[in-house]
Amino acid sequence: IRLKLRAELNIAAETHMILMVGSGFRTKGTDRAMKAFAALPDEIRGKGVLVIIGKDNFRPFRRLARRLGIEKQIIFFHGRDDIPRFLFSADLLLHPAYRENTGTVLIEAMAARLPVLASDVCGYADHVLRADAGRLVPSPFRQATLNQMLAEMLTSEERETWSANGGRYVSRN
């Protein structure tokens, strides 16, 4: 699944594919995610792509991508019915929401063995902690903290551990 989807999207196997899923881009923190991606060190950002999937108006976020100089490294998709393919193909789920009642995508990512980086305001964020399936950006939110955490997670040797932990946790609960 991973190889096929990445081939369809022209994303190399060694490229860091960061995934954001959710409608309501303002509430989901899409601006935060884009700023964090743009702030990655050159050697990491140069090997990365941010895939954003959801139902919303892309225009303001495309403008932000241009201002940040990352427009060629962002792929936008309107809502899709094949989200599991993306969860199995990505390297990290990024969900820095401003507010989120549940955040079902966090559990879906863990089931797909995808490490999670989310804000701690997501309703299901505690499952990420309990499972040790990634990291949470603490409140009050600071962009610099998210930026640093994203860079650390993409280069961490713990990614395989977070992946396995998330899968085990979901299968047991």
Cβ-contact 167, 113 below 8 angstroms: yes
pLDDT band at 79 (very low <50, low <70, confident <90, very high): confident
pLDDT, position 130: 97
The angle subtended at Cα 67 by Cα 64 and Cα 68, nearest 5°, is 85
What's this model's pTM, rounded to 2 decimal places? Answer: 0.97
pLDDT at 60 over 90: yes
Task: Record the tokens describing residue 13, joined without a space.
Answer: 């196997």
